[in-house]
Amino acid sequence: MSEARARLTAVEVARACGVDLKTIHNWADKGKLRHTRTAGRHLRFHRLDVVELLRRHAHPVPDALLAQRLRVCAAGMPHARRALGRRFDVVDVADAIDALVSLATIDPDALVLPDAAWMDDAGVVERLGANDVTAHVRVVVLCDAARDAALLRAGARAVVPHDDAGALRDALDAIAFGALTQPRPRVIVSAPRGTP
């Protein structure tokens, strides 16, 4: 399995945002910027959360924040590495259960879940967003258009047709670059939670 990646420190985020360190602490305390704390109570941030914050407030995003490849956990997609591997760091797992069980170990930026008749996809997406350990994971669900509204309301970042690799790449590109909307109409992408 992949090892967890380093998080950004408050000082690194302050430099990237061009603000004072105290501002970063205030944003974290007020819930404007998702964060975790180390055992020593130091703030740590996921790169994509910082990118989305900068995009949301129309600030330039430093190239260093965009240079890191998006780590994608692809559930039940045996050809995902071949289809997505040039752009993304793909970790393919056998199925949705393996993906969910190994999220903390894989530490992905995005999770691609195929819909499954036995699984409450919207419930899973909602629970991932509510859990401190997995709230940073952007979820893309592969399913038919009939269920997209419920999945987006639950917090899925995108809903993509099963057989459209181009749409999946577009959705993951939108996540990687902190896009709040997606220009291609065949992909339904929602804004991050808490976005006005």
Residue type, 147: R
What pairs with residue 188 in β-bridges?
Answer: 159
Q: Residue 89's closest CA among 130, 47, 125?
A: 47
pLDDT 10s digit of each residue in the chain, 196 long?
455 677 899 999 999 888 999 999 999 999 889 888 989 999 999 999 999 888 888 888 888 888 889 999 999 888 888 889 899 999 999 999 999 999 988 999 999 999 888 899 999 999 999 998 899 999 999 987 778 889 999 999 999 998 888 999 999 999 998 875 443 434 455 555 555 4
The pLDDT value given to residue 184: 40
Identify the structural domains of the chain with CATH numbers, from first to last: 8-66 (1.10.1660.10), 69-189 (3.40.50.2300)
102: nearest Cα among 4, 179, 185: 4
pTM (two decimals): 0.83
Question: Could you tell me which of 192, 130, 126, 131 has the C-alpha nearest to residue 158?
Answer: 192
Predicted pLDDT of residue 187: 47
